[in-house]
Structure 1
Amino acid sequence: MGDVDETVADVGEFALIRRITATPGRGQDTLLGPGDDAAVVAAPDGRVVACTDVLVEGVHFRFDWSPPEQVGRKAAAVNLADIAAMGAVPTGLLVGIACPASTPAPVIEQISAGLAAEAARVRVGVVGGDLTRSDTLVISVTALGSLDGRAPVTRAGALPGDILAVAGKLGWSAAGFAVLGRGFRSPVTVVGAHRVPAPPYAAGPAAALAGATAMIDVSDGLLADLGHIAAASTVAIDLVGDLIPVDQRLVEVATALGADARHWALTGGEDHALAATFPSASVVPPDFRIIGSVGRGSGVTVDGRPYTSGDPGWQHWR
């Protein structure tokens, strides 16, 4: 790790690249990692699943709320969750970072360490990327994945009569955001859920193997993201209110803040849970919890009625 007073301008582009790629993690599908004009990643079944997310300082993260290492982990997690939502397994990450010349070099090193640490959770590495100058710190991550011979699970396959289920946390990141927004730093578990999400990576391929008909990463809020499945599949989705998982710790935080924990679970984004539809309850994998059903029609309802207690989820520029 560099001196805390060094900026990226002091270190220089190529020296900084050497630092952050000195001990890269590497998955079994990485045939050629960082150090050349491009990486080489195996695609055993002839197809590559790919997705990209861009995180901007002040929009997606704040260093007074999250240390750089956790920002890096979050940047990796939001992309790896999208790979899982297709029923695929990750094979590598490509990372582009743009930042002001005055950015402390250790900040970039710690972000890179966080990216590598989260990638290691799914046994892959950062296989390449780029550094450049900008007025705002921006992290762009592209994740690659493999379907391992399976068909992709898209948003467009849900059918009337299907069962709706979810794997992972709901409402935790929204609760952590609310706590941080009030100037608090505890409860640690709630705040930590906003700083670093914990997507159920293995649940995506498990859902695909179980015969999931549609699936999505819950990044913008459960209601909003289920709306994407409903629209793509031309179906209606109805949630059973009593089946929505609301942890007691979130209820306690909501009570203290004068908020609604159920609203966080229904509309809060950035937990990166997986919501999927299945042809019957008997095939729903153990990591998933049944929360509703698919029918004929359009839109998303809760207990048969439209949700009217606030915005259904996050939208940029709104």
Structure 2
Amino acid sequence: MSIAEAGEFGLIARIVARLETGTASLLGPGDDAAVVAAPDRRVVASTDILVDGRHFRRDWSSASDVGHRAAAANLADIAAMGAAPTALLVALCMPADLDPAWAEELAGGLSAEAGLVGAGVVGGDMSSSPTLTVAVTALGDLDGRQPVVRSGARPGDVLALAGRTGHAAAGYTILSRGFRTPKLLVEAHRRPEVPYAAGPAAARAGATSMIDISDGLLQDLGHIAAASAVGIDVDRGAFEIPAQMRDAASALGVDPYAWLLAGGDDHALAATFPAGTALPPGWRTIGRVHEGAGVTVDGRAWQGDKGWDHFR
């Protein structure tokens, strides 16, 4: 059976049956709009799009993988503001000949990833399209805190990281060369492991700025440096290269630091903290903020790509 045979409303019914709406949902799918609780009386919102052949490949990733990844990309942005995710809205554009089971499995992945943070999928839309596209909007709650923005870093601050970098980029390179191992790296490309709790924890600890590392550490730190009008220096020695990554880099002729410093899609969180701050669990120091501009590595300009640019 294809989506065309199942019909729009038949497919919606099958997808909704796979969804958990989360604790913040007061009214889930089934009406013109959902109703989501906002205890803080402010709503944090973010949107990301995944396009088949551009952000994922169906011969590399299952529909569930794509669902996990689409949810994670948005939930990480909410966490990077110091907020707790509450709900997801999902828009699907799909070829009419797509198997409905793929869409159902996608919904399962979306719902499962949202469930990791107590959020749910509360609604969305769908349309026929020759290109399979998944667009997700995430909502979050600040729980009375101020949002942690990119423009708050100050000279003297400590730069810290929660989560891992380079794993998803390494997995992408491995898959693009026709290999399927090592599993640690390939699975990192398919499903990121996001340190969601680290975002609100950083906010409570007094983080002065924060960002989700989606396009590459150096490139995303550049957004903090520009917004805060400061310079940021990254300590390359702060990064441990896992044995599987080192072996893969050697076999493929890649500098592993190119993955660690410029690879995206792991959705680690980077933040700056005032000097002397006791970092929350899961955070580690990787550099310093200073007067100046731009991002350097060990005091020098990085020679090579700094990260992903959709139009470059």
TM bucket normalised to smaller: over 0.9
Q: Secondary structure, in 3 states, of the residue corresponding to 1:19?
A: helix
In the TM superposition, what is the alpha-carbon distance from 1:189 to its structure 2 partner?
A: 1.3
For 2:306, the equivalent position in structure 1 comes to 312
- The C-alpha deviation readout for 1:89-131, integer Å capped at 9, x for no partner, is 0000000000111111111111111101111111111000011
Structure 1 contact 26–123 (Cα < 8 Å) conserved: no
| Range moving further from structure 2, 74-83 or 101-110 | 101-110
For 1:143, the equivalent position in structure 2 comes to 138
1:44 counterpart (17, 39, 49): 39
2:289 counterpart (286, 291, 294): 294
Q: Secondary structure, in 3 states, of the residue corresponding to 1:184?
A: coil
| Range moving further from structure 2, 181-190 or 82-91 | 181-190
Q: Secondary structure, in 3 states, of the residue corresponding to 2:248?
A: helix
For 1:65, the equivalent position in structure 2 comes to 60
For 1:211, the equivalent position in structure 2 comes to 206
- The C-alpha deviation readout for 1:111-169, integer Å capped at 9, x for no partner, is 11110111111111100001111110000000000000000000000000000000001
- The C-alpha deviation readout for 1:40-68, integer Å capped at 9, x for no partner, is 00111110000000110000000010011
Partner Cα distance (2:175, 2:44) in 1: 35
Partner Cα distance (1:285, 1:253) in 2: 32
For 1:24, the equivalent position in structure 2 comes to 19
Q: Which amino acid aligns with 1:317?
A: F
Unaligned runs of 5+ in 1: 1-5
Q: Which amino acid aligns with 2:33?
A: A
Q: Secondary structure, in 3 states, of the residue corresponding to 1:283?
A: coil
In the TM superposition, what is the alpha-carbon distance from 1:282 to its structure 2 partner?
A: 3.2
Q: Secondary structure, in 3 states, of the residue corresponding to 1:38?
A: coil
For 2:111, the equivalent position in structure 1 comes to 116
**Distance of aligned partners of 1:23 and 1:55 in 2 relative to their CA distance in 1, 3 Å threshold:** closer
- Calculate the aligned-residue CA RMSD, in Å: 0.8
Partner Cα distance (2:58, 2:96) in 1: 17
| Range moving further from structure 2, 154-163 or 275-284 | 275-284
1:275 counterpart (270, 279, 286): 270
- The C-alpha deviation readout for 1:175-226, integer Å capped at 9, x for no partner, is 1001101111111111000001111000000000000000000000000000
For 2:261, the equivalent position in structure 1 comes to 266
Q: What TM-score comes out, normalization by structure 2 length? A: 0.98
Partner Cα distance (1:247, 1:219) in 2: 20
Structure 1 contact 218–272 (Cα < 8 Å) conserved: yes
Q: Secondary structure, in 3 states, of the residue corresponding to 1:280?
A: coil
1:13 counterpart (8, 11, 16): 8
Q: Which amino acid aligns with 1:8?
A: I
- The C-alpha deviation readout for 1:8-45, integer Å capped at 9, x for no partner, is 10100001101110242122211000111000001111
